[in-house]
Amino acid sequence: MERCANLKKHVITLLDQVFPEFAALFSDPYGPTARAVLTKAPSARLLASHQAKAFTALVRKASHGRLGRERVQEILAAARASIAVTRHDPASGFALRQTIQEIALLEDQIAVCDDEIGAIPVAGKELITTIPGIANMLGAVILAEIGDNNSFRPKPGDTSTADGFHRLLAFAGLDPRIRSSGQWTGKVRMSKRGSRALRTAIWRAAFVACKHPAFADIYTKHRVTMKQHQMIALSHVARTIVQAIYGVLRYQKPFDLQAFRHGVAA
């Protein structure tokens, strides 16, 4: 998935050389329709030389009938007006085609991996995937990184004030940390210690969960009411997701929105 994400960034780099206006024409510049167009003509120069008829059937098929001649005309008009329309760069066009093919291959392989992971019986997966934002793939990563959830609970005789939830939060590197030196005190930031894979999985879950009723009010409070940066608002959602993860695994019960709201408020 990381390699696929890096290749998509490389597509934008290549497009900046041969057709910088292209990405703005699509809601998803890496989607099937955009890929189909770029595979046939991977530059503004090549696109500008075609007529709408040559692309209409291609675009209709790739978009499953959602887009047609009107969108093709927009693409061709943008190509003819592009700042790169006179640029002759066959090497970048070739690299763009190859990169698009590699992205398609990786996405097929990711789908196969998702199916394989989804079929593996993992203790706790049926519980953790009831939390909004956590599906089979992220659930498997989170459980693999956490291991035994009970290991985060304080042991008898432990003098630490941290409870199980805060220990898990620290293990994910999502706990707050103030950097200071002498008389200088910096801003509060995430410690980013512990498991990078767990932290990444929880962040990905937060991007989805921030729209769910269980977490939307937390995101709105920090993003809209308190006017904080998006990443700060998401960090609060991620923290709350950790709380939900610890709760469902500790009590061995599916995520319950009403009970969770009561627990957070308490």
Coil vs helix vs strand at 188: strand
Give dist(CA 192, CA 199) in Å, integer: 8
Structure confidence at residue 76 as a pLDDT band (50, 70, 90): very high
Q: Which pLDDT tens digit goes with each residue over 108-131?
A: 999 998 888 778 878 888 999 999
Per-residue pLDDT at 186: 53
Closest CA to 146 of 192, 189, 199: 199
> What average pLDDT does range 86-91 have in this prediction?
92
The answer, yes or no, to whether residue 184 has pLDDT greater than 60, is no
Give dist(CA 14, CA 24) in Å, integer: 15
State what percent of residues in the chain have pLDDT above 70: 92
Q: Which pLDDT tens digit goes with each residue over 225-246?
A: 998 999 999 999 999 999 999 9
The answer, yes or no, to whether residue 265 has pLDDT greater than 70, is no
Per-residue b or e along 157-176, where b marks 16 or more CB atoms closer than 10 Å to that residue's CB: eeeeeeebbbbbbbbbbbbe
Q: Which pLDDT tens digit goes with each residue over 24-37?
A: 998 888 899 999 99
Structure confidence at residue 194 as a pLDDT band (50, 70, 90): confident
Coil vs helix vs strand at 86: coil
Q: Please, is 73 exposed, middle or buried when counting C-beta atoms within 10 Å of its C-beta (0-12, 13-18, 19+)?
A: middle
- Check: CB of residue 220 under 8 Å from CB of residue 198: no
